[in-house]
Structure 1
Amino acid sequence: MLTLAIYVGAALAEIAGCFAFWAWYRLDAPFWWIGLGLASLAVFAFLLTLIDSNAAGRAYAAYGGIYIATSLSWLWVIEGIRPDRWDLIGAGFCLLGAGIIIAGPRAPI
């Protein structure tokens, strides 16, 4: 459960950081939003280091599925656009893949 919380927190931090740049560049948000974006992206990177994995690539691969699902939640909650069935089906496959990567049995290294 802690792993999932870290992944979701990292995804929210990454999305918020990228959205800050999006808002500055495409929505005319104030320049100081870039600073918020940079801080948020630093939090994202730090949170991923907390994942209990012996390989960074595996931790990042599993994160991808969580990121996709969290991005669709952002789309709905923050941007006010409800994901359609294709978004949800795609996210479901991604979460299934992330779950397999996270929970799959591993040979000792």
Structure 2
Amino acid sequence: MKLALIYPLAALAEIGGCFAFWAWLKLDRSPVWLIPGVISLIAFAWLLTLVPAETAGRAFAAYGGVYIVASLAWMALVEKTTPDRWDLVGGAVCLIGAGVILLGPRA
């Protein structure tokens, strides 16, 4: 699976799984929300194992930038809250950092 697909799918799975717990605890939704939440978090963990990196730490660090940008997209699309310019600048900086970590030349 291509990296450009793995990280966004992992982010969607993680955010969706965490949101299920958020909905249960903060929005008084049914505990049934936890079932798809747990399944989603398992999918997230599995997807990260598909990242072609020699160390887990590097794969996870690079994923962090993608997660931040995906979280801002979730905020805009699901929670209907528009990211401000600082959210967007911060997300761009994180995404650039993720690229440097994952794609930088190694000795």
Instruction: Please give the TM-score of this superposition, normalised by the length of structure 2.
Output: 0.97
1:85 paired to 2:85: yes
The aligned amino acid for 1:52 is: P
Within 5 Å, give how 1:8-87 maps onto structure 2.
8-87=8-87
Aligned amino acid, residue 75 of structure 1: M
Q: CA deviation at 1:27?
A: 0.8
**Equivalent AA in structure 1 for residue 72 of structure 2:** L
Distance 1:4 1:91 in 2: 17
Q: Distance in 2 between matches of 1:102 and 1:4?
A: 12
Structure 2 CA distance for aligned equivalents of residues 90 and 100 of structure 1: 15
TM-score by length of 1: 0.95
Tell me, which stretches of 5 or more residues in structure 1 are unaligned? none
Distance 2:3 2:31 in 1: 34
- Partner SS, residue 32 of structure 1: helix
Runs of 4+ in 1 over 4 A off after TM superposition: none
Q: Identity of counterpart residues, as a percentage? A: 57
| RMSD across aligned positions (CA) | 1.1
